[in-house]
Amino acid sequence: MITELVRFAASASLAHDLCMVEISDMPTVEERELARLRAMTAEEKLRVSDRLWREARALARAAVAQRHPAWSSEQVTAETRRLMSGGRA
pLDDT per residue over 13-72, tens digit each? 656 665 665 666 677 888 998 999 999 999 999 999 999 999 999 999 999 999 999 999
Answer yes or no: are the C-beta atoms of 79 and 71 closer than 8 Å.
yes
**pTM of the full structure:** 0.60
Where do the DSSP E strands lie in the chain? Answer: none
pLDDT value of residue 17: 60
Answer yes or no: are the C-beta atoms of 80 and 57 closer than 8 Å.
yes
pLDDT value of residue 23: 62
pLDDT value of residue 87: 79
pLDDT value of residue 27: 78
Q: Could you give the CA distance from residue 6 to residue 13 in angstroms, rounded to a whole number?
A: 10
| 12-34 burial: b if 16+ Cβ within 10 Å, else e | eeeeeeeeeeeeeeeeeeeeeee
